[in-house]
Every structure is written in structure tokens, then in C-alpha cells.
Amino acid sequence: MTEAWEASVEAKIQDAVQRGEFDNLPGMGKPIPGRGAPYDESWWIKSFLEREALPSDLLLPMSLQLRRRIEQVPDEVRDLPTEESVRDFVAQLNAQIVAWLRNPDGPRVVVRPVNADDVVRRWRAERARPEVTTTATEPATVVTTARRPRRSWWRRWRSRRG
């Protein structure tokens, strides 16, 4: 019975080859990806992340994911329009941190809630920074508030000593 089944399958494959159904398949004539490379146990995870364009941070334990998110807070809030939206962002992140602290898993990494006031203070300072304006005919100009020039660290140090 299995021989008859194998023969019918083989006959269908040969018919498809003759009709040209296997011509011009994607990857035809190209080397097999990863051939000749050492075996990697997590090859399928890496290929899935690459194929789906997912960040590799998803493979990290939750504690390290939270640490990364904490480090990226200034970049994340930079374009938020209002102080309230910045505080909401920090509140959501802190809720995730507190949930992890209540039931930690994975490696023990120090993760503390983010101080919303500090983030808002940095957010305001970023927004108050001088902006660079350019036109097609003029070189870039910096709009600044009047400040006295800072002395170099060397002069400050020398003035204290002498």
C-alpha cells in the first residue's frame, strides 16, 4: 500500500516539474542561508525576529527589558506634546515596574520606579534648549539666551590654587 501511495506522489511531483510549476521559485539558484555556518540552537528564533522585524530586546528577561526602557525614557518622552502626556508615560512605565517588583522573575536586577518630576524637569529643559534655524541662503544660526562665557576647567582650578 505504501509503495502505491509513494508512486502516486512521485508521479504528481514529476507532472508538476514537467508543467514548470517549480520554475522561478523564490531563492532558486541561491545558496541555502546559514549553510556552512556552525549550528545555532536558536536559529529559528533569530530568523523569526528578523523576518517579522521585531526587536531582539523581546528575548531579554523582564527585568532587563525594564532597565532598557528606563534608560530610553528621555528619548521616548522628547516628542510628547504636554507635561501631562509625559507624566502618563512615566505612570504606565512605573505600573509595569511595580508589577514586576511584586512578582519578580528572571535575574535579580535593581529596577526602581522612575521619578516623574525628574523626567518632567529634563523634558522641560530639552524644550527650552536653543533651536537651530536654517535657511537656504544663510548658514545655520543658533538662537540662544545671553550667557556669560564659561571659563575652562583649567583656569578655574588654577584660580583656586593660586
Q: Which residue has the cell 511584586?
A: 102
Contact 77/89 with Cβ under 8 angstroms? Answer: yes
155's CB contacts (< 8 A; 6+ apart) are none
pLDDT tens digits for the chain (162 residues)?
678 888 999 999 999 989 988 888 888 888 887 788 888 888 888 888 888 998 888 888 999 999 999 999 999 999 999 999 999 999 999 999 999 999 998 888 899 999 999 999 999 998 887 665 555 566 655 555 444 455 555 555 555 555
The answer as to whether 96 is a domain residue is yes
Q: Which residue has the cell 510549476?
A: 21
The answer as to whether 98 is a domain residue is yes
- Residue 154 pLDDT: 52
Into how many domains does the chain fold? 1
The answer as to whether 22 is a domain residue is no
The answer as to whether 46 is a domain residue is no
- Residue 150 pLDDT: 52
Q: Could you list the residue range(s) of the whole structural domain that residue 91 is in?
A: 59-130
With 0-12 CB in 10 A as exposed, 13-18 as middle and 19+ as buried, what is 120? middle
Helix runs in the chain, H state only: 2-19, 43-51, 62-71, 73-77, 83-102, 116-128, 153-161
- Residue 82 pLDDT: 92
The answer as to whether 125 is a domain residue is yes
Contact 50/70 with Cβ under 8 angstroms? Answer: no
Count of residues in the chain: 162
Q: Which residue has the cell 502618563?
A: 88
**DSSP label at 142?**
E
